[in-house]
Amino acid sequence: MTQFKPRDPDFERRVRDSFARQRVMSMLGASLTRVEPGVVEITLPFRGDLTQQHGYLHAGILGTIADSAGGYAGFTLMPPGSTVLSVEYRVHLLTPARGETFVARGQVVRSGRTLTVCELSVEAVAGGQRSTCSIGTQTLICLPEGEARPAG
């Protein structure tokens, strides 16, 4: 994977500040566990009230942490004074989301002036073993701060 150079040396603080404002993340119990240029990981411990009908983590919750991980991976490479929004994302559910902890990873594949494309994955950690339970891809848009809508 290409090595990315952040345009904002203060990218990590900017990502952590924004993540702290995503109230859904603290509600779910998710935390930022890796912030590097072009790569972000979000870790979510299993919780019974986040499950679907068979007791596994709901696919939408996997998608939620994957979408944020990708969004912040893209945000690490955006210039100061910008805002990031998801344009679209998609996830495949490879196996039932069984585990004690889930680690969503966003990895930038293309970082453009306006659009960013990320690969997404979620690993389930169970008994010390990691296995990929979801993969996906995502398109992000970079907007000037204050403009919080997708491309006017």
| Residue 12 is a binding residue for a second copy (CB under 8 A) | no
Find the helix or strand (DSSP H, E) in which 124 lies: strand 115-126
| Residue 58 is a binding residue for a second copy (CB under 8 A) | yes
- When binding is defined by CB under 8 A, the residue of 7, 36, 45, 93 that contacts a second copy is 93
| Residue 128 is a binding residue for a second copy (CB under 8 A) | no
| Residue 56 is a binding residue for a second copy (CB under 8 A) | yes
Per CB under 8 A, contacts with a second copy among 95-124 are 95-96, 109-110, 112-115, 117, 119
44-80 in b/e burial notation, b at 16+ Cβ within 10 A?
Answer: bebeeebeeeeebbebebbbbbbbbbbbbbbbbbbee
Least CB distance to a second copy at residue 8 (A): 16
- Interface stretch with a second copy, choices 4-12, 33-41, 50-58, 122-130 (CB under 8 A): 50-58
Report the residue number, 115 or 125, with the smaller CB distance to a second copy.
115
CB atoms within 10 A of CB 20: 11
As a whole number of angstroms, the distance between CA 78 and CA 56 comes to 35
Alpha helices in 29-151 (DSSP H): 59-75
Q: Are 40 and 110 in contact (CB under 8 A)?
A: no
Report the residue number, 17 or 100, with the smaller CB distance to a second copy.
17
Q: Are 60 and 136 in contact (CB under 8 A)?
A: no
Q: In degrees, to the nearest 5, what angle opens at C-alpha 13 toward C-alphas 7 and 17?
A: 120
- Interface stretch with a second copy, choices 4-12, 13-21, 31-39, 122-130 (CB under 8 A): 13-21
Residues at the site binding a second copy, with contacts judged by CB under 8 A: 18-19, 21-24, 26-27, 48-54, 56, 58-61, 63-68, 83, 85-96, 109-110, 112-115, 117, 119, 132, 135-137, 139, 141, 148-152
